[in-house]
Amino acid sequence: YAMLLSLIFLIVLVAAIVGFVFRHEIKTNFESNLNLALKDYNVTADRHSEAVDTIQRTLHCCGVQNYSDWERTEYFGQRGIPRSCCKNQNDCSEEDLKDPNKAKLKVFVDGCFFLVTSTMESKMSVVAGISFGIACFQLIGIILSCCLSRYITNNQYEMV
């Protein structure tokens, strides 16, 4: 049991170290994937388009760096900026969303990349605290299982 807990503890420790060391690569990868999702954004309900819409609605943002990122997409030529960028859904018309100057007043102007990364970084302290707590319980379990094993081994010799 102690060996199993030790193995799990080491796996969690390695995962935490790898996540910390490669956090900049994770950000770069997220930014490139978000750019790709904007480029391939379409009206059909695919997973990437739904994810972009959810991020934009939830974090009140638009585009990667700002709302003008949508102007470089194929979707913008067809329908303008997506409705998920609108501050007020009832006040956004398709004509407003096709004109970048009018859209600036109707949509969220901040980009999603900075908001997502800052939200993730702000939540990292909570994740680190929970992980540290779990690691402490695992270490206590390892120590107690080693003590139990020693106790059982010592009692076996006394019985004989």
Q: Residue 45: its pLDDT value, please?
A: 62
Helices (H) and strands (E) in the chain, counts: 7, 0
What is the number of domains present in the chain?
A: 1
Which of 116, 103, 98 has its CA nearest to residue 35? 116
Which residue has better confidence, 121 or 59?
59
* Residue 27 belongs to domain with CATH number: 1.10.1450.10
Q: What is the mean pLDDT of the segment spanning 81-101?
A: 86
Does 160 score more than 60 pLDDT?
A: no
Could you give the CA distance from residue 63 to residue 66 in angstroms, rounded to a whole number?
Answer: 5
Residue 144: closest CA among 154, 133, 152: 152
How many other CB atoms are found less than 10 A from the CB of residue 39?
Answer: 13
Distance CA 20, CA 36 (A): 25
Tell me the C-alpha distance between 107 and 86, whole Å: 4
Q: Which domain holds residue 72?
A: 1-158
What percentage of the chain has pLDDT greater than the value 70? 94
pTM beyond 0.85: no
pLDDT number for residue 42: 81
**Tens of pLDDT along 21-31?**
777 888 888 88
Question: Is it the case that residue 158 has pLDDT exceeding 80?
Answer: no
Q: How far apart are CA 64 and CA 37, in angstroms?
A: 10
